[in-house]
Amino acid sequence: LATTSGIITITTDFGTRDGYVAAMKGVMLDICPDAGLVDVSNEVEPQDVMGSAFILRKTVDYFPAGTVHLAVVDPGVGTERRPLAVSCGGMYFVGPDNGLFSLVLADREPERIVELDNPEFWATPRPSSTFHGRDVFAPAAAHLAAGRSIESLGTTVDSMTSMHWALPISDEQGIQGWVVHVDRFGNCITNISRALVDERSDRRAFKCYAGNAIIKDFNTTYAEAETGDATLLFNSGDMLEIAIFRNSASELLDIRKGAAVNLVFADDKS
C-alpha cells in the first residue's frame, strides 16, 4: 500500500448549492469510509482553470504528506481530454488533464502520471458523459486515500497538458505584472514576487501604477496603513498585493483580475 494521509481536498467550480459536491463525497465515503474530506474551494468562476490552480497552489503545501487533491474544473467533460491521477513529492492529484496540475506544481516534476482507464476503479461501468467528477475522479481519489497504488488506477503515461503562469516583465527601470486574484476582502494579489522586487529594485523606492491609482505607501501589515489609503504589501505567499485597510482596493481603485500593475523604481537609492 502507498503512503496516504487519508485526507482528500476538493477544488471544483460546482458551487455548494446543487449537491454535486455532496454526490462526490458520497462516492468517496462509500469507497474509503475514514477519508477526511476538506473543501478547498467550490466557488471559483465556472470553467476557470487558472483561478482554481491559483487557490489550490496556495494550500497544497500545508496538508500532510500523502494527501490527495481532487480538482475538477472540467469544461471538456465527456470529450477526449484524459482523466488523470498524478503523484509528486508525496502529494496526489486527481482530475481532468486540463493543465491545472502543472500550474499547481509549477517547477515541480511529477513522478508518475496515470490515465484513469481502469474501469474497475470507476463508480460505474458506464460513466455519465457530463459528471466524471462523480463517476471517475471521486472514486480514483478515494482509492488513493484508501492506500491503493496510483499504478493500479490505469495506464502510466508520459506527459500531461502543461500550462505556465504568465511571468512579469522587468528591467532596471521597473516591473510590469498583473493582478492574478482578487480575494473576498478586495485585496488585489499580483504575480510580482518579493524576490523579483528585491532583485530589480536594488533597494530603490518605487511607485505602483494600477487601476486609477498611483500607490507609494508600502507596509508590512494591513493595519499599518491609514484607513482608506491604498497600500502595497507582500502577502502570506510573498507576492505583491494592493490593499486598503478595512475596504476593498479592487472596488475603490477599480482594479480587476487581469489588470496591469506597473512598478517604477526611483532614480536614487533611498
Where does this chain bind a second copy (CB under 8 A)? Answer: 5-7, 9, 13-20, 22-27, 29-30, 33, 36-44, 46-47, 55-56, 58-64, 67, 75-79, 123, 128-131, 134-135, 181, 183-185, 220-224, 233, 235-236, 241, 245-246
Closer residue to a second copy (CB): 116 or 170: 116
Closer residue to a second copy (CB): 58 or 176: 58
Q: What angle do CA 253, 254, 255 make, to 5 degrees?
A: 95
Closer residue to a second copy (CB): 56 or 170: 56
Least distance from C-beta 268 to a second copy, angstroms?
Answer: 27
Least distance from C-beta 136 to a second copy, angstroms?
Answer: 11
Least distance from C-beta 32 to a second copy, angstroms?
Answer: 10
* Phi, psi for residue 12 in degrees, rounded to 5: -145, 170
Written as nine digits, the cell of 50 is 487558472
Least distance from C-beta 128 to a second copy, angstroms?
Answer: 4
Give dist(CA 201, CA 173) in Å, integer. Answer: 8
- In this structure, is the dihedral angle defined by the CA atoms of residues 201, 173, 233 and 245, taken in order, positive or negative? positive
Least distance from C-beta 144 to a second copy, angstroms?
Answer: 16
Least distance from C-beta 217 to a second copy, angstroms?
Answer: 15
Least distance from C-beta 254 to a second copy, angstroms?
Answer: 19
What is the DSSP code string of 120-189? Answer: GGSSSSS--SS-HIIIIIHHHHHHHHTT--GGGGSEEES------PPPPEE-SSEEEEEEEEE-TT--EE
Give dist(CA 51, CA 20) in Å, integer. Answer: 20
Closer residue to a second copy (CB): 88 or 264: 88
Q: Is 24 helix (H, G, I), strand (E, B) or coil?
A: helix
- In this structure, is the dihedral angle defined by the CA atoms of residues 12, 16, 19 and 24, taken in order, positive or negative? positive
Give dist(CA 123, CA 108) in Å, integer. Answer: 31
Written as nine digits, the cell of 103 is 500550474
Distance of CA 94 to the CA centre of its chain: 14
